Amino acid sequence: MLWISIFLPDLCLQAHCRDGLGHLVDIPLAVSDGTASRPCVHAANPKALQAGIKIQMPLAAAQARATGLIVIPRNIEKEKKTVALIAEWLSQFTPMVCIESEGASLDVSASLRLFGGIAAITERIRIGIGELGFNVDIGVAPTPLAAWLLAKASRHRGKMLMCPDPAHLPEYLGEIPLVFFPWPAEVLQVLDSLGFACVNDLLQQPRTGLNRRLGNIVVHDLDRALARIPDPRVPIRLAENFRADIDLPFEVIDTERLAVPVGMLLAQMQGFLRARDAAVSKIELELKHGRVLVTRHGFGARQPIRHAADWMCLIRERLSAHPFAEPVSAIGLSTGRLSHFQKQNVSWLPTAHGHHEEWQTLLARIASRLDGEAHKGESSVFSIRLMEDPRPERAWCADGGHEKSPHSRQSKSRPLLLLSPPLAISTTGGVPEHHGLLEFLTVAERVEAGWWDNRPVVREYFIARNPQQEICWVFRDFCQDERWYLHGYFS
């Protein structure tokens, strides 16, 4: 087995600062915890640490030391949601993903060949989680606990620690501080009083003595880390549909600034869909303005897709055409019903599927730009479906556009522009005129139909040219006293 562990340093800060509350790197920021009567500093960003703020310092002292210190109360529920969303995103690499206290671990032994080896997987994970808005440390080992310890140690070593061989685990774990283990505070205090600081210190002690003084928790965890005993884990269960949100660090009115957090949510959605081997044809973007007002934008694709870049194109089209009037304080993203993702073979030659996909993407982008508050963009974009009816005005109908219209079997010339209704025109000496007398270019085409639905027509159509060199389509209506009408123009 081979495990990768993902450790989120300063989880309480990252849970609040997903959008790089990052924009606040030049402002001292701290997360408070403790009782209401005596709050203290639980975590602080580099700017606050540079100002002399210490962890566990009373909050009042910290505020006195750093002018303009921003204080955020610790939110344990938000920390749990952050860990859960990362674990959910990691499920695209393997179904065996389990949650840790400040991150997640995943068994990739069955996925190495699929993703190109351990180096390729870890790099892909690092980049992908960065796109979600988080900074992580990574460890690799044959056991989940060893990988977790190496991930936490990577923060202090400044590089990723990797031990793929179980035989080398004692060497790699020997210098790991004991405070990295998930042991109770009283156990860690006893170890510290005995002068034990790292794993090597414990490995040199008799097991019976450790069990007698500390209980079996210490020896048991050492055995789990060193692959001496099994360490079964319970994988997470993925939700049936995707739903995620981000509270923005400050109100946003510019659509371009909103693209960053929207991109994070789309990247998160893409990982979820890959884990489910699914795609979606509908998503909803929710924009929260203050505490009450909410704007919802629905987006639809002509065929199920899952790539974040494709959805981002549709969202950019909508927001650029319909900017929001009120500042946005939070955003949410949810999906509709999941569909199975249809994978296509890669080809360096153009394929029919590739052309069809480009066509559907173009239609979706046009519909997204046309769509507004009334959500009518989908109905504003359609294709033409031919009908088996010789009457020109009934020879076609609007189609939903999910497929391209079939090619016409009509061999006779028809104009691209039909007038509805046809325009009555005058005659001079029996010759119709439109911006002057018309010159007939074809013989009469007889159209006699409609008796089956009580809308009969009896017409003779001609292609004609007027003095302005316009090519017109005119007909004489025998049901209307042989009056002349202009029915369309040829391009």
Q: Enter the tokens of residue 260.
A: 């960053």
Q: Enter the tokens of residue 28.
A: 């001292």
Beta-strand pair 3-7/39-44: unpaired
Sign of CA dihedral 36, 41, 44, 49: positive
Closest CA to 92 of 310, 270, 279, 346: 270
For Cα atoms 35, 36, 40, give the angle at the middle one, nearest 5 degrees. Answer: 60
CA dist 427 and 197 (Å) reads 107
What is the DSSP code (8-state) at residue 168? G
Superfamily name with CATH number, domain 243-342? DNA polymerase, Y-family, little finger domain (3.30.1490.100)
CA dist 276 and 236 (Å) reads 13
- CB crowding 210-228: b at 16 or more within 10 Å, else e: beeebeeebbebbbbbbbe
Type and span of the H or E element at 149: helix 144-157
**CB neighbour list of residue 19: distance below 8 Å, 6 or more residues apart:** 133, 246, 248, 249, 260, 261, 264
Closest CA to 18 of 235, 237, 267: 267
CA dist 385 and 403 (Å) reads 10
Kindly report the backbone phi and psi dihedral angles of residue 363, in degrees, each rounded to the nearest multiple of 5, phi listed first: -60, -40
CA dist 265 and 285 (Å) reads 10
For Cα atoms 127, 125, 265, give the angle at the middle one, nearest 5 degrees. Answer: 70
User: Does the domain formed by 13-75 have CATH 3.40.50.10190?
Assistant: no
Given a contact cutoff of 8 angstroms between Cβ atoms, the answer to whether 71 and 30 are in contact is yes
Given a contact cutoff of 8 angstroms between Cβ atoms, the answer to whether 162 and 140 are in contact is yes
CA 264: distance to chain centroid? 7
Superfamily name with CATH number, domain 3-9+78-225? Reverse transcriptase/Diguanylate cyclase domain (3.30.70.270)
Q: Enter the tokens of residue 470.
A: 């316009």
Residue with structure tokens 């973007």? 285
Position 66 scores a pLDDT of 87
Helix intervals (H) in 232-328 = 255-275, 308-321
**CB neighbour list of residue 28: distance below 8 Å, 6 or more residues apart:** 44, 45, 47, 48, 51, 53, 66, 68, 69, 70
Q: How confident is the prediction along the chain (491 residues), in pLDDT tens digits per residue?
A: 999 999 999 899 888 877 544 555 678 889 999 888 899 999 998 889 999 999 999 999 999 998 889 898 999 999 999 999 999 999 999 999 999 999 999 999 999 999 999 999 999 999 999 999 899 999 999 999 999 999 999 988 888 999 999 999 999 999 999 999 999 999 999 999 999 999 999 999 999 989 988 889 999 999 999 999 999 999 999 988 999 999 887 888 888 888 889 999 999 999 999 999 999 989 999 999 987 888 888 888 878 888 999 899 888 888 887 777 789 999 999 998 898 887 665 556 665 555 555 666 666 666 666 665 444 555 566 667 778 888 888 888 777 544 444 444 555 788 888 998 999 999 998 899 999 999 999 999 999 999 998 899 999 999 999 999 999 999 999 998 899 999 999 97
Closest CA to 172 of 144, 146, 195, 197: 146
Residue with structure tokens 């700017």? 47
Given a contact cutoff of 8 angstroms between Cβ atoms, the answer to whether 57 and 40 are in contact is yes
315: left (phi over 0), alpha (psi -120 to 50) or beta: alpha
CA dist 197 and 192 (Å) reads 7
CA dist 94 and 121 (Å) reads 11
Closest CA to 476 of 437, 435, 439, 424: 424
Closest CA to 6 of 95, 108, 86: 86
Give the start-end residues of each E strand in 143-221: 161-162
The reply to whether the predicted model has a pTM over 0.85 is no
Given a contact cutoff of 8 angstroms between Cβ atoms, the answer to whether 423 and 486 are in contact is yes
Provide the residue ranges of all domains of the chain, joining segments of one domain with +: 3-9+78-225, 13-75, 243-342, 417-489
My answer on whether omega of the bond before 230 falls inside 30° of 0, hence cis, is no
- Residue 11 burial (CB count, 10 A): 21
Helix intervals (H) in 346-466 = 352-370, 377-380
CA dist 316 and 322 (Å) reads 10
